[in-house]
C-alpha cells in the first residue's frame, strides 16, 4: 500500500498543522514542525516539535503526537490512525509509528526538497521503509508542500 490518497479529514488536519508550523517558526524556542494523529476522521492529538524547548533530540513533533494520542486513548495501539505532519518523518519517527500500529502517513515537505539535516540515513527512502513493512504502510507526500517548504528548505526553521 505504498502511495495513498489523503482523505478530506487528513488534508484538513494537514492544513491546520501547516498554519501552526508557520506560526511556531517565528518563535525563539519552538521549531516549526507540527504533527497530528487522525482517527475516524477526527484529530485526536497534536504534537509540536519540542527538541529545542526540552533539549531532547527525540521530541520530534511526530513523537509528541504519538505520545499525546496514546495518553488520550489510554493505550499504546494507534491501529487505524493516520499520522499527518508538515515534514516527511525521519527514520526514528517512522519506526515509532509502526511500533504504535500506524499504517498511514500524510506529509507536506518531502525529503528530496528539504535540508539534509532532517534525516540521518540519506540512502534510506520511505519506499524502502514500506517494503520493510511488507508494504503494510502507505504514505502521501508533497501535499500542500509549497505552503511549508520555505520553513525546511535551508534547515533554518
Tens-digit pLDDT profile for residues 49-70: 999 889 999 999 999 999 999 9
**What is the rounded average pLDDT of the residues 97-110?**
96
C-alpha torsion angle, residues 76, 106, 13, 75 (rounded to 10): 0
Going by their DSSP bridges, the two strands 31-39 and 82-87 should be labelled as antiparallel
Which one from 10, 42, 54, 62 is the annotated catalytic residue?
62
pTM above 0.85, yes or no: yes
CATH 3.40.140.10 correct for 8-151:
yes
Domain boundaries along the sequence of the chain: 8-151
Residue 10 annotated as catalytic = no
Amino acid at each position: 500500500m505504498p502511495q495513498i490518497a489523503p482523505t478530506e479529514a487528513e488534508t484538513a488536519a494537514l492544513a491546520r498543522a501547516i498554519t501552526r508550523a508557520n506560526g511556531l517558526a517565528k518563535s525563539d524556542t519552538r521549531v516549526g514542525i507540527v504533527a497530528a494523529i487522525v482517527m475516524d476522521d477526527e484529530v485526536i492529538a497534536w504534537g509540536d516539535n519540542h527538541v529545542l524547548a526540552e533539549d531532547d533530540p527525540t521530541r520530534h513533533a511526530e513523537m509528541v503526537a504519538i505520545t499525546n494520542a496514546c495518553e488520550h486513548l489510554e493505550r499504546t495501539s494507534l491501529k487505524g490512525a493516520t499520522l499527518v505532519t508538515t515534514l516527511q518523518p525521519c527514520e526514528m519517527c517512522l519506526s515509532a509509528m509502526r511500533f504504535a500500529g500506524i499504517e498511514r502517513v500524510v506529509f507536506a515537505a518531502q525529503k528530496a526538497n528539504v535540508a539534509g539535516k532532517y534525516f540521518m540515513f540519506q540512502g534510506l527512502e520511505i519506499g524502502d521503509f514500506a517494503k520493510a513493512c511488507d508494504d503494510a504502510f502507505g504514505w502521501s507526500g508533497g501535499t500542500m508542500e509549497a505552503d511549508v517548504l520555505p520553513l525546511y528548505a535551508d534547515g533554518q526553521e
